[in-house]
Structure 1
Amino acid sequence: MSVVTQAAAADLSQPLPVRNFYPPMMRFFAPTPDSALRLYDPSWTFEVNQSLSSISIMDRYPNPQLLTDMELYVVDGVIRHAFSDHLEFTMRTPVLRPFNGVFDGAIKGFHDMLGIAVGGRRMRPNNSFAYAFDNGRGTAWQGRSQWELGNIELSGRYSLIAGDDWGVAALAAVKLPTASRARGWSSGSPDLALGAVLSWRLGSWFTHTEGWVIEPLLKHEPGISYSTYLQGSFVVGYRFDTLALIVQAQGGGSPYHAANVSDLGLSPLLVSVGLRGQIAGATGWTLSVVENVTQKTTQDISLAFGLSWMR
Structure 2
Amino acid sequence: MASPVTRTLRFSPAAIAEAARLIAAGEPVAMPTETVYGLAADATNGEAVALIYAAKGRPSFNPLIVHVADLAAAEGIGVFDETARALAEAHWPGPLTLVVPLREDAGIAPLVTAGLATIALRVPAHPAMQALLAATGKPLAAPSANASGKISATRADHVRASLGGRIALIIDGGPCSQGIESTIVAATGGAPRLLRRGPIEIDAAEETRGIEAPGQLASHYAPSKPLRLDATTAEPDEYLIGFGPVTGTTSLSPSGDPIEAAAQLFDLLHQADAAPEPRIAVAPVAGDGLAAAIRDRLSRAAAPR
> Which bracket does the TM-score occupy, shorter chain normalised?
under 0.3
More helix per residue: 2
TM-score normalised by length of structure 2: 0.23
TM-score normalised by length of structure 1: 0.22
More strand per residue: 1
